[in-house]
Amino acid sequence: MKVEGRINPATQEQKRRIFWLCSRIGLNIEEASARGYLIREWTGGRSNGMSTLGFIDAMNIIKYLEEMMRKGQREKKEVYSAEMDKKRKGLIKAVFRWLENQGKQPSMEYVKGIICRAGGVHNINELSAEALTRLYAEFCRKQSAQQEMQQESLMRFGEN
Q: Residue ranges of the domains in the chain?
A: 12-74, 80-159
pLDDT average, residue stretch 31-50 = 81
CA 131 from chain center: how many Å?
Answer: 16
Q: Could you give the CA distance from residue 11 to residue 59 in angstroms, rounded to a whole number? A: 10
The helix (H) or strand (E) run that includes residue 79 is helix 55-101
Beta carbons within 10 angstroms of residue 140's beta carbon: 15
Residue 51: band (very low, low, confident or very high) from pLDDT cuts 50, 70, 90: confident
To the nearest whole number, what is the mean pLDDT of the chain? 84
pTM for this model (two decimals): 0.51
Q: Could you give the CA distance from residue 107 to residue 109 in angstroms, rounded to a whole number? A: 5
Q: Each residue of 75-91: b (16+ CB within 10 Å) or e? A: eeeeeeeeeeeebbebb
- Looking at residue 116, its pLDDT comes to 92
